[in-house]
Structure 1
Amino acid sequence: MNLITIRLAHLCENGDDSLANDAPWRTAPTHIRKTSDRHKNLPNFLLYRKEMDVAWITQDFPAIAQAEIETLAGKSAKQNGDLVFVEASLKGLEKRLAFTKATYTLLFSCTKKGMQKAFEAHDWKITKDFRVTTSRSPLPAPLLGHFIKTKSGKQVNLHTPTNHVMVFGRDKIHVCQLHGENDSQFEERRGRNRPAKHPTTMHPKLARAMVNLTGIKKGTFVDPMCGSGGLLLEAALLGFTCEGVDIDSRLLAKAQQNLQYFGVSSKLTKADSTKLNKKLSHVALDLPYGRGTTRKDLEKTYQAMISMLGRNLKGKAAIMYPHWADVPALVKKAGLSVCYELEAYSHRLLTRKIVIAKR
């Protein structure tokens, strides 16, 4: 193992490493801890870990938040309350993720009892100045800032800090350094704030998550049942080339109006999307479930749409559907694999589900 990739992590007082057993990181092999000249004289409450990043997620839909992080980071993650830990860089993804408030690099973790020793022992690589913010920390931010200032010699800056240290936890403490915060203006794009309104418009946060769950990083994003353009809007705002298809020209006109209002564009096509015959790499769609249509007719539409994806999909598709439909079974019947099955509660009478299908 390359020692350069090993960083200071879980800190336990009096050599107690019991918390490491269920922690979301791995300790270094024993022979490294014993033979490394660089680390052999460390206090006995120190352990090692691989580099790890942390996402501070909202509590709207935690499972969806973790799934979109795993999809974009390309690594499995572990969730602990409102934190998601992943052995991959999340830097910059906070601007894209729907249900993440901010992303951080994990500096170290410690027990409540060993907190002061941990702060005093850590090698604080602070440039210029810093600020400390806490969430449920047993020690106040000013005291923690004093420890860092004493060790690093850098000044506290509460308003425009160059480095932002965030401390999470009450009993098990996670000390992180901020990458960036999510400043997406989702509320400004809610259905009621769009020029062309539609009663079943998806919340922009959920629409953004659907786009992310397709795993798109380049190429064309397609919504084969685009309606008034909610999914297209979120994909276009991320800078992707977009294409929307719908059989209703009135809905396409609404989509065009909404996209223009927010300064983005998409190719829009009037067609029966169940008859599409083209390769699709990144697809998201919200299957209809509205009034005025029998469940039997809806099930026929679902089957036709999933069959179309079975013929054309070469990447991933994020499919939203009502709780009463067995869309995962249709996905498998169409020759596709299921990556995730997720839930997004809407109201007492409806829970929307999401299945992520791939070739």
Structure 2
Amino acid sequence: MQIPFVDLQAQYQALKTELDAAVLRVMGQCNFILGKEVADFEQAFAEYVGAPYAVGVASGLDALKLALEALGIGSGDEVIVPAHTFIASALAVSAVGARPVLVDVDEASFNLDPALIEAAITPRTKAIMPVHLYGQPADLSPLLDIAQRHGLRVVEDASQAHGARYQGRRVGGFGDAGCFSFYPGKNLGAYGDAGGLVTNDAGLAERVRYLRNYGQEVKYKHVVKGYNLRLDTMQAAILSVKLRHLDDWNARRAAHAAAYTHALEGVGDLRLPRVVTGDHVFHLYVIRTKHRDALQAHLTERGVATVIHYPVPIHLQAAYADLGYRRGSFPVTERLADEILSLPIYAELTAEQQAHVINAVKSFFA
């Protein structure tokens, strides 16, 4: 049996009639740039998250970048970012001319450790960027308290946490802005690159709308120097269809995660993901073992696709050698990079497929 890491074909077949109709509607209208479907999706997604405003953009990285720029963060400023995250979190900071200041993560949640934040704050610090990694909400209460006491902005990177809740509210609406990627493999994914942000700040939403569309207030009236970073109408139509199914998909992911945990508890030296804060939506199911590379090879031989998220930490990437960090700078992050492995998890994963994955993992440790 071959188990893909993500099966987008299965998802498409389940929604084929709805998705085909949405795409054909856009084709028939030929309104491909900022068409009605973009505004419709923005309204629906804002209501879903529980924020008054949402703005669709071209990718999750663009959402982070435009949020920072709209908040006035730029050259000479610093933004605190978790050391263990996808590099896009740091790249957004660099894109506006600021410096990402990395902080190690909590070993239980893999998210930014609030206890380490204040030691990283300097007079140049302007914002904190918590990442709701793998679908688990970051511990926002102490983080927001620190931000308030130091006069800092908070930009949530919720690119892997569509629908996750913290203290009963969906993530994305706690900070100055919440940024999402709609990359195809996400819990809510488009059929190409796409992203968006939500905010409670009308002025910030307006600035991002200008920035994403050449800085235009109205056509040919440019009030700021902007970009071409718009959410495509076709992708917005697809996302509107998928949004209606997101809660069901997240519930199925949580059920798959529970089944993995029940079956693999106590197997070998495995350390399994724990729900530490809020409602985890399991964009990824990430296990830890000191035998990670051998286990991955074993699973590959048995037809199980796995991925390492992420094998090389940001501070050890050549692109960020200029930050001056060295091996040993972030011990938790470095341990995770050596031990983590993501197992297949998606809403359409069948019981038979999951049993095959579980048996393959167990056979390695037998």
TM-score by length of 1: 0.28
- Higher fraction of strand: 1
- Higher fraction of helix: 2
Per chain length, whose mean CA-contact separation is higher, i.e. which structure has more relative contact order (CA < 8 Å, sep 6+)? 2
- Pick the structure with greater CA Rg: 1
TM-score by length of 2: 0.27
